[in-house]
Amino acid sequence: MPKYELHVISNGKLGWTELAAAAAKIHPYVTAIHIREKKKSMDENYIGLQFLLDKGIPANRLYVNGHPWMAAAEKLGGLQLPGQTMPLPKIKGLYSGVQRIGISVHSAEEAILREQEGADYVLFGHIYETKSKLGVMPRGLEELRHVADGVTLPIIAIGGITPERVSSVLEAGASGIAVMSGIWEAVDPVEAVQAYVNQLKQTEMR
């Protein structure tokens, strides 16, 4: 298993057919493809998830955001939860079939709490300015270092991370990166993924 993780998070702009076509090409190179479709209903998300599985996207590469029962029922690779969620032991008790649980955090204190609760990883950001968080001050590399100093579980950094910024993010303590527009809005998603993978591998070899 690679030392560093690459998570690709859906951006809510693609139809299921487009998403499946791109996911079919990139899934061999990534740790996880997150289904994060906040504007779609729960039923729409489940139908879309079924469509992706039917198109051959491996269940262990798919993570769903915010729907524990989907992750458990379909034996997905993981479940991503928002920061304002119930204590993780309660979720694990209700959905014992969930393989891996990650949660979004915005401070070292939140990361420490979620590690104590048994999270498998945390998603921290945004690190750099990003179009999805216009006008919101990025947390930056120093805050990422602060979070990394407080926990031992993997930290997946998100927000404005280009291939050129990968090494700086990993050196600040991240165990991997999460990308949205840098993949889905690329002219060639596979080429974009490979650019990130190459940077992750180069840092791993140092």
Return the pLDDT at 1.
Answer: 55
Torsion sign across C-alpha atoms 103, 144, 110, 4: positive
> Which whole-number Å values give the CA distances from 162 to 14, 154, 156, 198, 200, in the listed order?
21, 20, 14, 12, 12
Q: Half-sphere exposure of residue 191, counting CA atoms within 13 Å on the CB side?
A: 4
27 preceded by a cis bond (ω within 30 of 0): no
Residues 6 or more apart in contact with residue 111 via CB below 8 angstroms: 105, 122, 124, 147, 150, 151, 153, 155
Partners of 102 in beta bridges: 80, 121
Return the pLDDT at 131.
Answer: 72
| Residues of the chain scoring pLDDT < 50 | none
User: Known catalytic residue: 126?
Assistant: yes
Q: Half-sphere exposure of residue 196, counting CA atoms within 13 Å on the CB side?
A: 28
Return the pLDDT at 66.
Answer: 95
Return the pLDDT at 10.
Answer: 97
Q: How far apart are the first and last CA of the chain?
A: 17
Return the pLDDT at 71.
Answer: 97
Catalytic member of 27, 34, 67, 126: 126
Measured distance CA(62)–CA(55) in Å, rounded: 12
CB 76 within 8 A of CB 59: yes
CB 61 within 8 A of CB 35: no
> What is the reported pTM?
0.95
Partners of 81 in beta bridges: 103
